[in-house]
């Protein structure tokens, strides 16, 4: 146990030294895990997470968000609701955190809008009840991950980088664009129409009941379930579109 602790501390020290040389302040977690509440004045209409945060949408929460993390780490985290109702989570620009516990933000149900990850964080859903609304847009810039359930009219997803999006439930129309090597898993999202655009080596799984439209530039691949009577494929490169 002592050797393991020494190894972890040594790794933190090396990482901290690298960050200081790069001009960033390295903050090593102190092990003192605390929770902090943020009052929310209106319904949450979107999420923007910019940092290594785990966001959990918890429908049981009302009128507040709860942050959990090490006390000295939370001192450098900004969490607030903007005028449009969106919940924002940010790390100070001149800081890099070193923590094996991470930072978790639990927020109330999101009523439509954009859910965005900039970086390596995650957005997940507590419980089995899907998010409901007319239109949702999910976006990952980086290597983050989103795993959610929906009952919506329209679901638009964008992945720039190596991120992963997994969605289930139902949407009349599903639309995804992947730039890079990201992965989109919507095998359990029932749609009437699905549109897939891949630039690079990304992959997508969809369920399309009536119409499927695929555009691939590169080596991306699309697997689809259902037997859509309208199928349009435009593939330039070694990309593939196949049923499964």
Q: Residue 16: what pLDDT?
A: 46
Interval 176-204: pLDDT, tens: 999 999 999 999 999 999 999 999 999 99
pTM (predicted TM-score): 0.89
- Please name which of 181, 84, 177 lies closest in space to residue 139, comparing C-alpha atoms: 177
Q: Are 134 and 150 in contact (CB under 8 A)?
A: no
**Confidence at 55, pLDDT banded by 50, 70, 90:** very high
Give the per-residue pLDDT at 1.
46
Average pLDDT over residues 2-28: 53
Write the pLDDT tens digit of every residue in 214-227: 999 999 999 999 99
| Helical H segments across 93-235, by residue range | none
Residue reference for tokens 């977690």: 29
pLDDT attached to residue 97: 87
Q: Which of 126, 33, 14 has its CA nearest to residue 72?
A: 33
* CA 199/CA 192 separation, integer angstroms: 24
Residue 5 has pLDDT above 70, yes or no: no
pLDDT at 3: 44
Output the DSSP codes for the chain: -HHHHHHHHHHHHHHHHHHHHTT-EEEE--S-EEEEEEE--S-B--EEEESSEEEEE-TT--SEEEEEEEHHHHTTEEEEE-TTS-EEEEE-TTEEEE-SS-EEEEE--B-SEEEEEEES-EEEESSSPPEEEEEEEEEEEES-EEEEEEEEEEEEEEEEES-EEEEEEEEEEEEEEEEES-EEEEEEEEEEEEEEEEEES-EEEEEEEEEEEEEEEES-EEEEES--SEEEEEEEES-EEEE-
Report, as an integer, the average pLDDT of 140-148. Answer: 99
Please tell me the predicted confidence (pLDDT) of residue 2.
40
pLDDT at 36: 98
The 3-state DSSP class for residue 42 equals coil
93 band by pLDDT with thresholds 50, 70 and 90: confident
Q: Parse the chain into domains and list their residue ranges.
A: 130-244
Q: What percent of the chain has pLDDT over 90?
A: 85
pLDDT at residue 20, rounded to an integer: 45
Is the pLDDT at 56 greater than 70, yes or no? yes
Residue 22 scores a pLDDT above 80 = no
Mean pLDDT of the chain: 92
Residues facing 95 on adjacent strands: 25
3-state class (DSSP) for residue 29: coil
Q: Which CATH number fits domain 130-244: 1.10.8.100, 3.40.50.300, 2.160.20.120, 3.30.230.70?
A: 2.160.20.120
- What pLDDT is recorded for position 186? 99
């Amino acid at each position: 146990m002592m050797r393991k602790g020494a190894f972890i501390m040594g790794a933190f020290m090396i990482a901290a030294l690298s960050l200081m040389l790069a001009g960033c302040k390295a903050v090593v977690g102190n092990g003192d895990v605390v929770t902090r509440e943020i009052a929310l004045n209106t319904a949450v209409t979107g999420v923007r997470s910019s940092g290594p945060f785990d966001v959990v949408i918890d429908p049981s929460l009302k009128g507040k968000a709860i942050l959990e993390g090490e006390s000295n780490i939370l001192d450098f985290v900004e969490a607030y609701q903007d005028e449009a109702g969106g919940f924002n989570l940010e790390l100070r620009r001149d800081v890099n955190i070193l923590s094996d516990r991470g930072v978790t933000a639990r927020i109330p149900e999101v009523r439509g809008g954009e859910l965005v990850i900039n970086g390596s964080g995650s957005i997940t859903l507590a419980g089995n009840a899907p998010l409901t609304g007319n239109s949702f847009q999910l976006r990952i810039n980086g290597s983050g991950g989103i795993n959610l359930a929906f009952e919506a009219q329209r679901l638009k997803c964008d992945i720039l980088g190596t991120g992963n999006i997994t969605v289930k439930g139902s949407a009349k129309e599903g639309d995804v664009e992947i730039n890079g090597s990201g992965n989109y898993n919507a095998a359990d999202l029932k749609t009437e129409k699905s549109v897939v655009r891949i630039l690079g080596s990304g992959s997508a799984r969809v369920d399309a009941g009536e119409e499927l439209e695929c555009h691939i530039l590169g080596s991306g691949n699309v697997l689809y379930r259902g037997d859509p009577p309208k199928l349009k494929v435009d593939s330039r490169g070694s990309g593939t579109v196949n049923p499964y």
